[in-house]
């Protein structure tokens, strides 16, 4: 019981943490995906793998180098885990949100962010995920997670995020 | 030649005149004006009984003309003429005045105001304009802008843009407001407000609607809002991202950028959201379309050559839909917009780590950099093509700035709080459109 409690606490904390570092106004925080937990028949609540910090599925961000959009090897296993999870749960769908740093034209950055989101999506569809389960969209430079005007912030913002429906 | 933009944005107005002074010869015929580096000496005399009005007419005329950078104000010293017969011409000629505005206001019993004015040629001792309007007190600023337009046109031979409007996005905290204001920054009102970003404002050619991209659906969606009624509808909300709206000159179609077929590609859609047709077909980014004034072609940003550059493509005739590359200097040229003459276009050029406004001739391909700031974006022509409004940054805050199309005059406009960005200069009002 204590263990379950502490796990629940961790989940809660991670949900909070996720919410605070996520200034992009997402309505559903990670906590909402709790709806997907507790599905097994045993009756004992299980941790939703999407928010379990020990599960790779809780990792959602792919980072990119300047002017790059290829998913680098270090993110492949994470992306492929989501691809498999979607394949196994065909009722689920995700949105991949591409982001860029603030430098340059807003519309061109929107297109660059789109390209990053598309790139993550391609890795997943090549692994067998249904196209209809994934919508790739772009926030361009409009919703920066880091708001500084420096290399550290720019690095943080060159990113694509995976969001499950309802999150 | 160039002229105006203006904003006094409730507060700070910084005018940076690269040229100044250079008084003209006293008895120069003002109608031959046309050079760049000269200012017309003009005296604008307070109108009779004007001090009784809530809004000074001549103050607005004066600041309009002054901000154009084309005029030098000469104050009256002793005599305050209201009628041509009251002007002591030799006195004014000696003070180097070429043109003078005189007039009178009269409060009518019904609360309306009658405004009479004349534009005088001091050298020739002639009346250049004589006009009268009767309006409500609320319309006094509008009357003054119309007056400034007439005076400007008479003395420079160019179209005045003082009666136009501008739109921009004001960001304060996490609130984003689409604002529409007079070209001098007054009468700003909020068309719509979100807690999600708004970008890429585009005026319909008739000035009644604005298309924009907003993110309240957790992704970019294109809306068209009717300004008079506030009614808005999503005209492009396809799977993926929807952005970069650009109206065709006849207002019937909107070029949009969609990712529904993968990548970012340019499509054409009717302004009511029907009749989607694909325009570009590439594996590269194609975005930021802008129609030529004749509506036959678009210029747009594409990275098909390895870096973002400006291209031109015919809209009709599917057969030879070949895009022609227009920019070659530098590795980053984006956000193109046609001049209304169809012969020039502006865009943002990256110059080392700076992003600046550039103007380029389609014929000679000659490029001129117009600004020297760090982060310029979203350039937008005034409807007379003489001034370019753009977004820039000062001390980390977004502000609007305007530069004359020859780069000689620059102004900066900011608000007390928050950022302003994504400017778009509206069209000429209907009664002044000649096309």
pLDDT tens digits along A5-16: 444 433 333 433
Q: Does an H or E element contain B57, and which?
A: helix B57-67
Chain A positions touching B174 (Cβ under 8 A) are: 23, 25
Rg (CA), chain A: 16
Together in a domain, B404 and B358: yes
B49 near B104, Cβ under 8 Å? yes
Element (H, E) at B355: strand B354-361
Same domain, B217 and B332: yes
* Residue A30 CB contacts under 8 Å (≥ 6 apart), including other chains: A14, A15, A18, A19, A50, A51, A167
Q: How far is B418 from chain A (nearest CA, A)?
A: 14
Chain B, 98 to 157: residues with Cβ < 8 Å from chain A are none
Stretch among A139-153, B167-181, B198-212, B304-318 having the lowest mean pLDDT: B304-318
A104 with B219: Cβ contact below 8 A: no
Q: B196 and B151, same structural domain?
A: no
| Res B78: pLDDT | 77
Same domain membership, residue B172 and residue B109: no
DSSP states along chain A: -HHHHHHHHHHHHHHHHHHHT-TT--SS-GGGGGGGSS-STTSS----TTT-TTSGGG--EEE--TT--SPPHHHHHHHHHHHHHHHH-TT--EEEEEE--SSS-HHHHHHHHHHHHHHHHHHHHHTT--GGGEEEEEEETSS-SS--SSHHHHHHHSEEEEEETT-
Question: How confident is the model over B165-215, as pLDDT tens digits?
Answer: 999 999 999 999 999 999 988 899 999 999 999 999 999 999 999 999 999
φ/ψ of B323, rounded to 5, equals -90, 135
- Whether B239 is covered by a domain: the verdict is yes
Residues in chain B: 435
Residues of A in contact with B284 (CB under 8 A): none
Give the pLDDT confidence of B271-282 residue by residue, as tens digits.
999 999 999 999
Could you say which of B137, B156, B175 is where a domain stops? B156
Domain hosting B225: range is 165-432
Chain B residues touching residue A115 (CB < 8 angstroms): 263-264, 285
pLDDT for residue A43 is more than 80: no
Same domain? For B128 and B212 the reply is: no
* A59-167 maps to CATH 3.60.150.10: no
Chain B residues closer than 8 Å to A118 by CB: 259, 262-263
CB-CB neighbors (< 8 A) of A111 in chain B: 257, 263-264, 285, 287
Please tell me the predicted confidence (pLDDT) of residue B394.
84
**Percent of chain B surpassing pLDDT 70:** 89
Measured between beta carbons, the chain A residues lying within 8 angstroms of B334 are: 104-105, 107-108
**Residue B5, in any domain of the structure:** no
Residue in B with minimal Cα distance to A136: B240
Q: Is the dihedral of CA B370, B244, B8, B145 positive or negative?
A: positive
Distances B44 to A133, B77, B123 between C-alpha atoms, Å: 68, 12, 16
Same domain, B143 and B184: no
Chain B CB contacts of A103 below 8 Å: 355, 375
Residues 235 to 274 of B: which have CB under 8 A from any A CB? 239-241, 243-244, 257, 259, 262-264
Which backbone phi and psi does A61 adopt, to 5 degrees? -110, 135
Interface residue A146 vs chain B (CB under 8 A): no
pLDDT at A74 over 50: yes
Nearest residue in B to A138, CA atom: B241
Considering B121, B156, B191, which residue would you say is the last residue of a domain? B156
> If you measure CA to CA, which chain B residue comes closest to A139?
B219
Inspect the interface and report whether the beta carbons of B241 and A110 lie closer than 8 Å: yes
Boundary-marking domain end, from B156, B190, B206? B156
What pLDDT does B434 receive? Answer: 54
- Do both B102 and B217 map to the same domain? no
A69-83, B11-25, B61-75, B90-104: range with lowest mean pLDDT: B11-25
Mean pLDDT, range A23-48, rounded to an integer: 48
pLDDT at site A57: 97
Mean pLDDT (whole number) for B216-230: 97
For residue B39, pLDDT beyond 50: yes
Sign of the alpha-carbon torsion through A142, A148, A153, A156: negative
pLDDT tops 60 at residue B320: no
Q: Which residues on neighbouring strands pair with residue B189, listed in sequence order?
A: B180
- The pLDDT value given to residue B318: 54
pLDDT of residue B16 exceeding 70: no
pLDDT at B8: 37
Question: pLDDT at residue A158 above 70?
Answer: yes
Domain count, chain B: 2
Kindly state whether A143 is in contact with chain B, defined as any CB-CB distance less than 8 angstroms: yes
Q: Which of residues 280-339 of B touch A (CB under 8 A)?
A: 285, 287-288, 301, 308, 332, 334-335
Instruction: Find the residue in B nearest to A143 (Cα).
Output: B197
Same domain for B327 and B227: yes
The alpha carbon of residue B198 is apart from the nearest alpha carbon of chain A, in Å, by 9
* Spatial contact of B336 and B313, defined as CB atoms under 8 Å apart: no
Q: Tell whether A68 is within 8 A of chain B (Cβ).
A: no
pLDDT of residue B317: 61
- Test B396 with A111 for CB contact under 8 angstroms: no
What percent of chain A has pLDDT above 70? 73
Of B240, B396, B422, nearest to A136 by CB-CB distance is B240
CA distance, residue B301 to nearest chain A CA (Å): 8
> Residue B2 pLDDT more than 90?
no
**Which DSSP string do the residues of B222-281 spell out, in sequence order?**
EEEEETTT--EEEEE--SS-EEEEEE-TTSSEEEEEE-TTSS-EEEEEETTS---EE---
Determine the pLDDT at residue B75.
86
pLDDT at A4 over 60: no
Nearest-Cα distance to chain B for A108, in Å, is: 7
B243 and B357, same domain (yes or no): yes
Note whether residue B3 is domain-resident: no
Look at residue B347 and tell me whether its pLDDT is greater than 50: yes
**CATH at B45:** 3.40.50.10070
Chain A residues in contact with B378 by the CB 8 A cut-off are: 105-106
Shared-domain flag, residues B236 and B145: no
Residue B6: inside a domain, yes or no? Answer: no
Q: What is the CATH number of the domain that holds B186?
A: 2.120.10.30
Adjacent-strand bridge partners of B357: B348
Q: Across all residues in chain B, what is the average pLDDT? A: 88
Partners of B218 on chain A (C-beta within 8 Å) are: 26-27, 95, 97, 137
pLDDT band at B409 (very low <50, low <70, confident <90, very high): confident
Q: What are the residue ranges spanned by the domains of chain A?
A: 1-52, 59-167
User: For residue B23, what pLDDT band results from cuts at 50, 70 and 90?
Assistant: very low
Would the pLDDT of B225 be above 90?
A: yes
On whether any CB of chain B is under 8 Å from the CB of A107, the answer is yes
Stretch among B161-170, B234-243, B413-422 having the lowest mean pLDDT: B413-422
Contact A105 B348 (CB under 8 A): yes
Contacting residues of A for B308, CB less than 8 Å apart:
105, 108
> Is residue B170 in some structural domain?
yes
Q: Token pair 């003082």 is at which residue? A: B162
Preferred mutation among A67, A95, A111, A119 to probe B, highest tally of B CBs within 10 A: A111
Nearest-Cα residue of chain B relative to residue A144:
B197
Does residue B118 form part of some domain?
Answer: yes
């Amino acid at each position: 019981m204590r263990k379950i409690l502490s796990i629940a606490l961790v989940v809660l904390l991670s949900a909070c943490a996720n919410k605070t570092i996520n200034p992009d106004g997402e309505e559903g925080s990670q906590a909402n995906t709790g709806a997907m937990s507790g599905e097994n028949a045993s009756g004992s609540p299980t941790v939703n793998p999407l928010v379990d910090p020990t599960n790779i599925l809780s990792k959602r961000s792919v980072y990119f180098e300047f002017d790059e959009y290829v998913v680098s090897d270090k993110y492949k296993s994470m992306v492929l885990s989501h691809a498999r999870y979607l394949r196994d749960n065909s009722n689920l769908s995700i949105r991949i949100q591409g982001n860029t740093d603030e430098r340059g034209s807003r519309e061109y950055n929107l297109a660059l962010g789109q390209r990053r989101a598309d790139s993550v999506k391609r890795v997943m569809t090549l692994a067998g995920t249904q196209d209809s389960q994934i919508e790739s969209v772009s926030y361009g430079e409009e919703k920066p997670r880091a708001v500084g005007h420096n290399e550290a912030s720019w690095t943080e913002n060159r990113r694509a995020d995976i969001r499950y429906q309802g999150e | 030649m160039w002229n105006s933009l203006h904003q006094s944005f409730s507060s700070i107005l910084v005018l940076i005149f690269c040229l100044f002074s250079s008084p003209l010869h006293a008895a120069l015929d003002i109608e031959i004006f046309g050079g760049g580096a000269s200012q017309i000496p003009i005296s604008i005399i307070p109108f009779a009984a004007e001090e009784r009005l809530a809004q000074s007419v001549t103050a607005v005329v004066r600041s309009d003309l002054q901000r154009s950078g084309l005029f030098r104000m000469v104050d009256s010293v002793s005599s305050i003429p209201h009628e041509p017969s009251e002007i002591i011409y030799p006195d004014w000629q000696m003070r180097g005045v070429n043109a003078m505005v005189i007039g009178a206001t009269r409060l009518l019993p019904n609360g309306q105001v009658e405004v009479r004015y004349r534009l005088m040629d001091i050298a020739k001792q002639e009346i250049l304009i004589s006009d009268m309007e009767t309006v409500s007190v609320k319309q006094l600023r509008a009357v003054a802008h119309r007056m400034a337009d007439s005076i400007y046109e008479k003395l420079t031979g160019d179209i005045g843009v003082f009666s136009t409007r501008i739109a921009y996005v004001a960001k304060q905290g996490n609130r984003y407001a689409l604002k529409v204001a007079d070209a001098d920054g007054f009468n700003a009102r909020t068309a719509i407000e979100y807690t999600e970003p708004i970008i890429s404002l585009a005026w319909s050619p008739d000035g009644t609607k604005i298309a924009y991209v907003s993110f309240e659906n957790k992704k970019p969606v294109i809306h068209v809002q009717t300004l008079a009624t506030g009614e808005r509808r999503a005209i492009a909300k396809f799977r993926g991202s929807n952005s970069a709206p650009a109206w065709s000159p006849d207002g019937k179609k909107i070029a949009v950028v969609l990712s529904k077929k993968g990548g970012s590609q340019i499509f054409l859609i009717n302004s009511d959201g029907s009749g989607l047709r694909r325009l570009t077909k590439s594996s590269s980014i194609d975005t930021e379309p802008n129609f030529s004034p004749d509506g036959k072609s678009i210029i747009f940003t594409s990275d098909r050559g390895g870096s973002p550059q400006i291209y031109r493509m015919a809209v009709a005739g599917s057969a030879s839909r070949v895009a022609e590359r227009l920019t070659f200097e530098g590795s980053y040229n984006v956000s193109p917009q046609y001049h209304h003459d169809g012969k020039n276009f502006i865009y943002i050029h990256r110059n080392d780590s700076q992003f600046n406004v550039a103007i380029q001739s389609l014929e000679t391909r000659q490029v001129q950099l117009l600004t020297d700031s760090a982060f310029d974006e979203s350039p937008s022509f005034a409807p007379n093509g003489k001034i370019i409004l753009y977004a820039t940054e000062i001390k980390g805050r977004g502000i609007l700035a305007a530069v004359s199309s020859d780069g000689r005059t620059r102004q900066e406009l900011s608000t007390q709080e928050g950022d302003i960005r994504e400017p778009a200069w509206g069209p000429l009002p209907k009664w002044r459109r000649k096309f």
